[in-house]
């Protein structure tokens, strides 16, 4: 490429090229300012759909105007990183099977920040955000042209689907914005809404998180409502169903390309994994899930989930593990283990029945 051609390339295109060079799969630019979806987000919280996620209400003023989290900033460089949606579905949501994406994406956005400073020859006021502050990255991503809001609330890209993470670098550099993604390409399709086992969608693009399997198995620290436990099925951490059925993912979901997101060995079939999670002590939990997104559910949450999974897919062979869980140090786990044993007993009237009754009486 000649020097004249290089000079003709807009700086914004060089920024996006650098983002792609760092490994991101999508990149776009938008101008910071009042956030279009802030009012809907406030209403969503007000209707109680955030459940125990009280942190989402913090920093409301900053969330309503994307210039406020980092004073002096004018633009956002918004990126997406695919984590692979073509692998078989399973008990652990795809995003959580490898290493924690927060660290990887933040590191790359910080690299982009440093590159920008070198290119401009000055300190650039800015900050990287990856689910870590009062910034509605999904709104910024749509405004930067990366996709539209699907009926399952995920951002959907017409060439990538929705199995990707979103991050944003807010900077004090006035940049020419990309055209926002205005089209709604969901059409009349309602596959995601119809497929949800817990009927968590109040209406298209409105999710009651308190009924969502991902919320119930990751964010919630309380008991999983009894009426929803059977619907959790064999999902021990998160859920991909509303993405699995999306035609855009059926067509465009790809294999994992980023080595950090390659699935870790979870140790056998789901029942074996569940039994292991029930028995983990604090040190074992920390060692097993170091650097994994799954640590967010905490030891107690994973043990609770494991008990529910065994109640749904286990049999008499799992009763010993559940019986030991009746002596767990947390009442929450004991409660779900007892529920699981009762479920198995109801399905299996063999020799284990007396032993189950004995466990429950003790």
CA angle 155, 161, 166 (to 5 degrees): 45
Distance CA 263, CA 29 (A): 31
Mean pLDDT of 315-328: 97
Assigned domain for 184 exists = no
The domain tally of the chain equals 2
66: which 2 tokens?
Answer: 């994307």
pLDDT classification of 357: cutoffs 50, 70, 90: low
Helix (H) or strand (E) holding 171: strand 164-171
> What share of the chain in percent tops pLDDT 90?
92
Same domain, 146 and 226: no
Same domain, 37 and 145: yes
* In the predicted structure, residue 356 carries a pLDDT above the cut 60: no
- pLDDT for position 266: 80
Beta pairing partners, 154: none
The sign of the dihedral angle between the CA atoms of 298, 300, 301, 307 is positive
100: which 2 tokens?
Answer: 């924690």
- pLDDT for position 359: 53
- pLDDT for position 267: 74
Same domain, 229 and 131: no
- pLDDT for position 133: 93
pLDDT classification of 4: cutoffs 50, 70, 90: very low
Give the contacts of 252 (CB within 8 A, at least 6 positions apart): 159, 160, 161
Assigned domain for 7 exists = yes
Same domain, 43 and 141: yes
Assigned domain for 195 exists = no
Number of Cβ within 10 Å of residue 286's Cβ equals 12
Same domain, 19 and 138: yes
Assigned domain for 327 exists = yes
* In the predicted structure, residue 87 carries a pLDDT above the cut 50: yes
Last residue of a domain, one of 171, 189, 212: 171
CA angle 99, 101, 107 (to 5 degrees): 110
pTM assigned to the model: 0.93
Mean pLDDT of 247-256: 97
Mean pLDDT of 173-191: 98
Assigned domain for 182 exists = no
* In the predicted structure, residue 314 carries a pLDDT above the cut 70: yes
What pLDDT, in 10s, does the model give residues 118-171?
999 999 999 999 998 999 999 999 999 999 999 999 999 999 999 999 999 999
Domain range holding 50? 3-171
- pLDDT for position 77: 98
Last residue of a domain, one of 112, 147, 171: 171
Distance CA 329, CA 346 (A): 26
Distance CA 278, CA 114 (A): 44
Return the closest-CA partner of residue 340 out of 320, 303, 314. 314
Same domain, 61 and 156: yes
Last residue of a domain, one of 171, 188, 211: 171
pLDDT classification of 6: cutoffs 50, 70, 90: very low
Which of the residues are catalytic?
131
Assigned domain for 192 exists = no
Same domain, 124 and 49: yes
- pLDDT for position 358: 54
Distance CA 222, CA 358 (A): 27
* In the predicted structure, residue 8 carries a pLDDT above the cut 90: no
> What share of the chain in percent tops pLDDT 70?
94
Name the average pLDDT for the chain: 94
Same domain, 116 and 25: yes
DSSP assignment letter at 87: S
Same domain, 121 and 36: yes
What pLDDT, in 10s, does the model give residues 17-49?
999 999 999 999 999 999 999 999 999 999 999
Tell me the angle at which helices 298-313 and 270-279 cross, rounded to the nearest 10 degrees: 140
Assigned domain for 203 exists = no
Distance CA 181, CA 10 (A): 21
- pLDDT for position 9: 76
Assigned domain for 214 exists = no
How many Å separate Cα 35 from the centre of its chain? 22
* In the predicted structure, residue 2 carries a pLDDT above the cut 90: no
Same domain, 19 and 127: yes
């Amino acid at each position: 490429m000649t020097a004249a051609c290089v000079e003709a390339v807009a700086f914004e295109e060089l920024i996006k090229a650098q983002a792609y060079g760092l490994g991101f799969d999508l990149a776009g630019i938008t101008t910071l300012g009042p956030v279009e979806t802030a009012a809907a987000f406030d209403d969503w919280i007000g209707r109680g759909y955030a459940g125990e996620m009280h942190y989402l209400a913090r920093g409301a003023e900053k969330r309503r105007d994307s210039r406020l989290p980092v004073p002096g900033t004018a633009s956002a460089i918004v990126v997406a990183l695919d984590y692979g949606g073509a692998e078989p579905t399973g008990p652990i949501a795809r995003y959580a099977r490898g290493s924690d994406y927060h660290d990887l994406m933040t590191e790359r956005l910080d690299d982009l920040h440093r590159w920008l400073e070198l290119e401009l020859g000055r300190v650039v006021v800015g900050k990287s955000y990856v689910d870590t502050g009062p910034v509605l990255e999904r709104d910024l991503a749509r405004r930067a042209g990366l996709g539209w809001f699907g009926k399952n609330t995920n951002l959907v890209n017409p060439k990538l689907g929705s199995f990707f993470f979103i991050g944003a670098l807010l900077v004090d550099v006035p940049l020419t914005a990309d055209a926002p993604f205005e089209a709604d390409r969901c059409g009349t399709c309602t596959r995601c809404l119809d497929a949800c086992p817990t009927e968590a969608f109040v209406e298209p693009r409105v999710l009651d998180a308190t009924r969502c399997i991902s919320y119930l198995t990751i964010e919630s620290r309380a008991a999983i409502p009894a009426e929803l436990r059977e619907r959790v099925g064999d999902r021990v951490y998160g859920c991909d169903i509303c993405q699995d059925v999306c035609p855009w993912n059926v067509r465009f979901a790809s294999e994992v390309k980023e080595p950090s997101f390659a699935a870790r060995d979870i140790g056998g079939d789901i029942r074996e994994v569940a039994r292991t999670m029930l028995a983990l002590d604090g040190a074992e939990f920390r060692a097993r899930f170091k650097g994994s997104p799954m640590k967010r559910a905490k030891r107690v949450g994973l043990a609770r989930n494991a008990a529910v999974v065994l109640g749904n897919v286990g049999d008499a062979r799992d009763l010993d593990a559940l019986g030991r869980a009746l002596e767990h140090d947390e009442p929450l786990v004991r409660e779900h283990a007892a529920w699981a044993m009762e479920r198995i007993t109801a399905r299996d009237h063999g020799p284990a029945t007396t032993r189950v009754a004995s466990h429950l009486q003790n």
